[in-house]
């Protein structure tokens, strides 16, 4: 039976460590599989019974997984296929992806940030030894308190998905190379967690904020926030706008690039929008176009003052000498502005959520909202704004119900 060790965490939570020996590898190193288990029972007798049963199940599963791994290794040996460590396959995959230009800069940075934890857990394992259970256990560990060094909590569901995606990409590459036949990530899922509720400006809050911005904010900040709230643009899309993107005759703007910042190493860099459908053309209200013209006039005046120090980038949002503005600058500016003027501050992405929510509750069809936001699928819009969709559906059902009741009442009266 599996070896069972009781562990008491600092939080007071009791866990049991299961360790199963599966023999020795070719180098004489003992093969051990382990996992932590948290019992749900309350009494001492029931806990002991539950833990022993869980240990037996874990041992049986570990042995089945090991036997399957050995079968695959033997099959590969007979077919002349040599297995590789996950770390080696991952490094090869990363090198190929970078050299073929398959990734955007943001994707490359995110993938590389996953390596440390993934390599620590899976790096020294042969790719063909990694099972669904192995990966799912790793993901569960990511969700536990203490993993996120900033918050002291587990990693968010979205971050867990990044890790699963990285491992899955490596496994797909291993399939292409003929090292394995199937992807063990296929059924792996992030742990269930409480989704952070989106903090969205109410109509009254936004109107108060807009009124303050129109009277007190510099043109560039007022314009940036209006692009987000009136057109639903992402921050990176706004910061990447250039004057040549505007068609003043047709009153449109074309979104084709983003301006981003990840860390000091990469600095400010230009990339493409999030998805192919994020490259889109939007109608622009006349008053916003007038602000664009006003901003351009102010910047031309500043250009003459700077002289040879001026950098002509054609960007709307720039520093005093024409260089692209840091993408985080509007956020910090708005945070100070709201604090000074006793207004609620809900971040920049809340403007995009405000736009989408208002569009949906005003009766705009979901496909149109999805197109305006640049989502690749309508289902993405429905999932993100499920609360607004449900509210609209409830209103529609109540309206239909009232209409039917009205007809029944009319018929009865007649």
Along the 414 residues of the chain, how does pLDDT read in single tens digits?
Answer: 788 999 887 777 888 889 999 888 777 788 888 888 888 888 989 999 999 999 899 888 888 888 877 776 677 666 655 568 899 999 998 888 877 766 777 777 788 888 989 999 999 888 988 999 899 999 999 988 888 877 778 888 889 999 999 999 999 999 988 888 889 998 898 987 545 566 788 889 999 999 999 999 999 999 999 999 999 999 999 999 999 999 999 999 999 999 998 778 778 999 888 888 899 999 999 999 999 999 999 999 999 999 999 999 999 999 999 999 999 999 999 999 999 999 999 999 999 998 988 888 888 888 888 888 988 787 777 777 766 656 656 666 666 566 656 654 444 444
- The alpha-helical segments, DSSP class H, found in 123-241 are 132-142, 157-176, 203-216, 219-231, 235-239
Q: How far is CA 407 from the centre of its chain?
A: 48
Q: Which CATH class is domain 81-196?
A: mainly alpha
Same fold, 81-196 and 203-391: no
Name the strands in the sheet holding 3-8, side by side, starting at the edge strand that comes first in the sequence.
3-8, 14-24, 30-37
Cα separation, 333 vs 345, in Å, equals: 11
Cα separation, 39 vs 48, in Å, equals: 9
Query: What's the confidence (pLDDT) of residue 405?
Result: 63
DSSP-based three-state secondary structure for 342: coil
Query: What's the confidence (pLDDT) of residue 412?
Result: 43
| CB-CB contact of 3 with 18 (8 Å) | yes
Domain 203-391 bears CATH identifier 2.40.50.140:
no
Cα separation, 205 vs 219, in Å, equals: 21
Where are the chain's structural domains? 1-80, 81-196, 203-391
The string over 260-295, giving b where at least 16 C-beta atoms fall within 10 Å of a residue's C-beta and e elsewhere, is bbbeeeeeebeeebbeeebebebebeeebbebbeeb
């Amino acid at each position: 039976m599996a070896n069972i060790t009781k562990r008491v965490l600092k939080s007071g939570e009791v866990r049991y460590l299961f360790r199963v020996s599966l023999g020795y590898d070719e180098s004489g190193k003992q093969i051990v599989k382990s996992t932590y288990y948290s019992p749900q029972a309350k009494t001492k007798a029931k806990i002991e019974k539950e833990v022993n049963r869980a240990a037996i199940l874990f041992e049986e599963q570990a042995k089945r997984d090991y036997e399957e791994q050995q079968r695959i290794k033997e099959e590969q040996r007979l077919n002349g296929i040599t297995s590789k460590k996950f770390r080696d396959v991952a490094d090869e995959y990363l090198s190929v992806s970078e050299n073929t230009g398959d990734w955007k800069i943001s994707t490359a940075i995110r993938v590389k940030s996953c390596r440390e934890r993934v390599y620590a857990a899976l790096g020294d394992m042969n790719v063909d030894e990694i099972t669904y259970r192995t990966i799912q256990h790793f993901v569960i560990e990511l969700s536990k308190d203490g993993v996120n060094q900033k918050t002291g909590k587990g990693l968010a569901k979205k971050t867990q998905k990044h890790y699963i995606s990285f491992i899955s990409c490596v496994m797909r590459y291993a399939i292409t190379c003929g090292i394995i036949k199937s992807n063990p990530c296929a059924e792996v899922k992030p742990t269930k967690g409480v989704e952070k509720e989106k903090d969205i400006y109410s109509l009254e809050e936004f109107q108060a904020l807009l009124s303050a911005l129109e009277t007190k904010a510099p043109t560039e900040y007022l314009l940036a926030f209006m692009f987000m709230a009136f057109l639903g643009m992402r921050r990176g899309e706004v910061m990447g706008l250039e004057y040549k993107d505007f068609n003043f005759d047709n009153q449109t703007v074309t979104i084709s690039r983003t301006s981003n910042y990840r860390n000091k190493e990469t600095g400010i860099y230009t990339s493409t929008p999030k998805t192919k459908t994020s490259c889109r053309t939007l109608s622009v209200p006349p008053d916003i176009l007038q602000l664009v013209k006003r901003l351009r006039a102010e910047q031309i005046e500043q250009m003459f003052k700077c002289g040879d120090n001026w950098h002509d980038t054609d960007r709307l949002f720039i520093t005093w000498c024409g260089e692209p503005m840091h993408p985080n600058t509007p956020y910090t500016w708005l945070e100070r502005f709201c604090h000074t003027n006793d207004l609620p501050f809900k971040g920049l992405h809340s403007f995009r959520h405000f736009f989408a929510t208002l569009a949906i509750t005003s009766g705009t069809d979901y496909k149109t909202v999805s197109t305006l936001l640049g989502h690749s699928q309508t289902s993405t819009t429905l999932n993100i704004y499920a609360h607004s969709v449900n509210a609209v559906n409830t209103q529609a059902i109540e309206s239909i119900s009232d209409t039917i009741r009205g007809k029944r009442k009319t018929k009865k009266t007649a």
